[in-house]
Amino acid sequence: MATIAKIGDGLQDKSSHYSRRILQYTGPASYSAGGDSLTPESIGLGRIDAFLTAIASNGSAVRLLTYDYTTKKVQWWVPNTGSEATGDLSAYTVRLEILGK
């Protein structure tokens, strides 16, 4: 499972009618196809409405992240091949901004 850490005081920010979570996300040590669980409840929300991310990097390579709203999982992708990543992603970190209620 990935590690999620609070960035500054952004964990409980409010924007209009949405709650905002700004997090540092470190990849899981053992990622398998289909995604890594990230439920709204695990970050103090009832639902996730927007998953905004930068490019995850380990210092020499990058990975892209998407969120599957149906399965509530973060999926990791290898940009130059378009294939889903596998294996140890624990060296990759990225900042996330998540909006929800």
Question: Domains of the chain: which residue ranges?
Answer: 3-100
Q: Which residues contact 93 (CB under 8 A, 6 or more apart)?
A: 24, 25, 26, 27, 56, 57, 58
Distances (CA, A) of 33 to 25, 49, 81, 88, 101: 18, 23, 15, 12, 28
CATH tag, 3-100:
2.60.40
* 13 has a pLDDT exceeding 60: no
In the predicted model, what is the mean pLDDT of residues 29-54?
Answer: 94
In the predicted model, what is the mean pLDDT of residues 35-57?
Answer: 95
In the predicted model, what is the mean pLDDT of residues 57-78?
Answer: 97
Residue with tokens 């700004």: 22
Name beta bridge partners: 98: 21, 51
Provide the whole-model pTM.
Answer: 0.83
